[in-house]
């Protein structure tokens, strides 16, 4: 379609993801979910960078977190898609007890 | 949606009905049922006294992960009689936070699979606990 | 004589009150409780169909042996929160013939000690079962 | 004491034991307990010999039995004393299930 040519690359490639926070992260951020708009092709690692820029207090605790994309554990290199649900998973304690 | 089968893997915010968890693994071929209760105890890992625990879950993922663990029990051992319920919210000492039941024809496998299930649950299922005691509150990591 | 402590090791001739067995191991230091149920199943070791089991005990010796097994749990692991009840008489499919509960601070030991207890009980405690099915009756040896 | 001399050795040395039967043994013997009088110094093995003489039907099953004296497992060589409770313990089945 002709109209496609006039959409800017930035607008076309933007992905909107929902990020969920739990436990110590939730308390640090002060919210249990926040939506982020990221450039197309952004990875989980890129999201974390954006996240730390917006919530600097989370930096000390984010290093120990795992990540889930759509409720599956995912590597930081995972590319995000529009509508994905990303969760920061702080360490779970139960392994020892 | 809410069939008895679905209810085998649950995150609940009220006291766990352990008898109901057991009922979900009833089967005439069971010769053994192993039931594990994780219970709030009075001394935390930190060594500090605890008076309450607060549990928080990523509920949707927690229930999916429990289902995955059950799938693995089936793949490894052919076990299809397993149920797990984890409670969230505030719990006092002596209250169960998690109950897992496994039913099998013979006892050795019931123990092995039940221990496997709770080990996996503790490592993978996104549920966190905060110790609340006379000295303050702290998330346990 | 019939203190709550004595009742930790029991042979009974009515349905087992599993909740009562669990209550006998309650302790604020418990982080884990493992409960084992031995259940009458529909197929016997012989491969024949079973409709009922009849259990018979040398009751006085059985209760003494259970107490000895509990003493060994204490000697090996320092565990003093264990209770065992074995039922005798006629039991139908799905009914528990034995329930053992073990409470410990950490879960690994709860599984290990509970499995040890039932293995010892099955080998040493003088209780016999007779399979009753469509093809007749037979003591299981 | 003078009277001791006139008691016959046989009478003096007799022990009375109570024997208990369970499961397949109980059904074979047709009783759950029987008392036996044995010569002093008799062992569990001597008792079993007496037992088989009185209840020949038990012979095929007694070989697999264990024995308990006063509710403790005991070897066949164990010497019996007056008032002992001896039990024949048929094999228990649970080891495998």
Sole residue written with tokens 């436990």: A23
Closest CA to B101 of C18, C15, C13, C23: C18
Give the tens place of pLDDT for each residue, B75-123: 999 999 999 999 999 999 999 999 999 999 999 999 999 999 999 999 9
pLDDT band for C93, please (50, 70, 90 cuts): very high
Name the nearest CA neighbour of C100 among C14, C15, C30, C21.
C21
CB contact at 8 A, A3 and A17: no
Average pLDDT over residues C108-119: 98
> What pLDDT, in 10s, does the model give residues D37-62?
999 999 999 999 999 999 999 999 89
- Rounded distance, CA B81 to CA A10, Å? 51
Taking only the tens place, the pLDDT of each residue in C20-62 is 999 999 999 999 999 999 999 987 666 677 788 999 999 999 9
CA of C112: which chain B residue's CA is closest? B111
Strand locations in B1-141 (E): 9-12, 32-39, 52-57, 82-87, 89-92, 96-104, 127-133, 136-139
B128 close contact with A: CB closer than 8 A: yes
Contacts of C126 in chain D (CB under 8 A): 22, 68, 87, 89, 92
Q: Give residue-wise pLDDT tens across range D60-92.
A: 989 899 999 999 999 999 999 999 999 999 998
Residue D18 has pLDDT above 90, yes or no: yes
Residues of C in contact with B39 (CB under 8 A): 30-33, 103
For C95-123, what is the mean pLDDT?
97
Residue C132 has pLDDT above 90, yes or no: no
Whether the pLDDT of residue C120 is over 50: the answer is: yes
CA dihedral D31, D37, D42, D43 (to 10 degrees): 20
Interface contact flag, D94 C121, Cβ < 8 Å: yes
Place of tokens 């076309």: A12
CB atoms within 10 A of CB D87: 25
Cβ of residue B32 closer than 8 Å to a chain C Cβ: yes
Cβ-contact A45, A77 below 8 angstroms: yes
Q: Which residues in chain A come in under a pLDDT of 70?
A: 1-12, 93-97
What is the full DSSP assignment across C8-46? GEEEESS---HHHHHHTT--TT-SEEEEEEEE--SB-TT
Measured in residues, chain D has a length of 97
Q: Quick one: pLDDT at residue B44? A: 65
Q: How confident is the model at residue D4 (pLDDT cuts 50, 70, 90)?
A: very low
Beta bridge partners of B55: B89, B129
Residues of B in contact with C42 (CB under 8 A): 28-29
Alpha carbons D12 and D1: distance in angstroms, whole number: 14
For A78-95, the pLDDT digits (tens) are: 999 999 999 999 998 665
Alpha helices in chain D (DSSP H): 9-13, 23-29, 44-54, 59-62
What is the domain partition of chain A in residue ranges?
3-89
Q: How far, in Å, are B111, B118, C3, C92 from residue B108 at the CA level? A: 6, 16, 33, 22
Dihedral-angle region of residue C71 (phi above 0 means left; psi in -120 to 50 means alpha; beta otherwise): alpha
Residue B14 C-beta-side C-alpha neighbours within 13 Å = 1
Phi, psi (rounded to 5 degrees) for D68: -125, 140
How far, rounded to the nearest angstrom, does the alpha carbon of residue B109 sit from its chain's CA centroid? 18
List of chain A residues whose C-beta atoms are within 8 Å of the C-beta of residue B121: 94
**pLDDT at site D70:** 98
Residue D10 pLDDT > 90 = no
Q: Do B34 and C34 touch (CB under 8 A)?
A: yes
pLDDT given at position A94 = 62
Q: What would the pLDDT profile of B13-52 be if each residue is shown by its tens digit?
A: 999 999 999 999 999 999 999 999 999 998 766 667 778 8
Find the residue in C nearest to A95 (Cα): C107
The per-residue DSSP string of C72-98 comes to: HHHHHH----EEEEEE-EEEETT-EEE
User: So what's the architecture of C5-134 in CATH?
Assistant: Alpha-Beta Complex (3.90)
- pLDDT at position B49 is 74
Cross-sheet strand order for the sheet of D85-89: D33-38, D15-20, D85-89, D66-69, D72-74
CA distances from B48 to A45, B132, B140 (A): 36, 10, 12
Fold exhibited by the domain D3-89: Ubiquitin-like (UB roll) (3.10.20)
The answer to whether the Cα torsion of B57, B60, B63, B65 is positive or negative is negative
């Amino acid at each position: 379609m002709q109209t496609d040519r006039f959409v800017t690359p930035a607008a076309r490639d933007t992905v909107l993801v929902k990020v969920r926070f739990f436990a110590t992260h939730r308390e640090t951020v002060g919210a249990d979910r926040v939506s982020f708009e990221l450039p197309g092709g952004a990875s989980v690692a890129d999201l974390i960078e954006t996240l730390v820029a917006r919530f600097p207090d989370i930096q000390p605790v984010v290093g120990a977190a795992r990540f889930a994309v759509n409720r599956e554990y995912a590597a930081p290199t995972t590319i995000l898609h529009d509508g994905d649900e990303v969760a920061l998973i702080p360490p779970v304690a139960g392994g020892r007890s | 949606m809410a069939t008895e089968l679905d209810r085998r893997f649950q995150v609940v915010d009220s006291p766990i009905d352990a008898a109901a968890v057991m009922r979900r693994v009833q089967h005439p071929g069971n010769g053994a049922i192993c039931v594990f209760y994780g219970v709030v105890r009075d001394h935390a890992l930190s060594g500090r006294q605890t008076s309450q625990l607060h549990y928080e879950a990523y509920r949707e993922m927690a229930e999916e992960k429990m289902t995955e663990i059950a799938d693995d029990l089936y793949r490894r051992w052919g076990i299809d009689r397993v149920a797990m319920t984890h409670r969230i919210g505030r719990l006092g000492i002596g209250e169960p936070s998690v109950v897992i039941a496994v039913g099998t024809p013979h006892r050795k496998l019931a123990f092995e699979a039940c221990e496997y299930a709770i080990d996996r649950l503790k490592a993978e299922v996104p549920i966190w606990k905060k110790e609340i005691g006379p000295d303050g509150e702290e998330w346990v990591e």
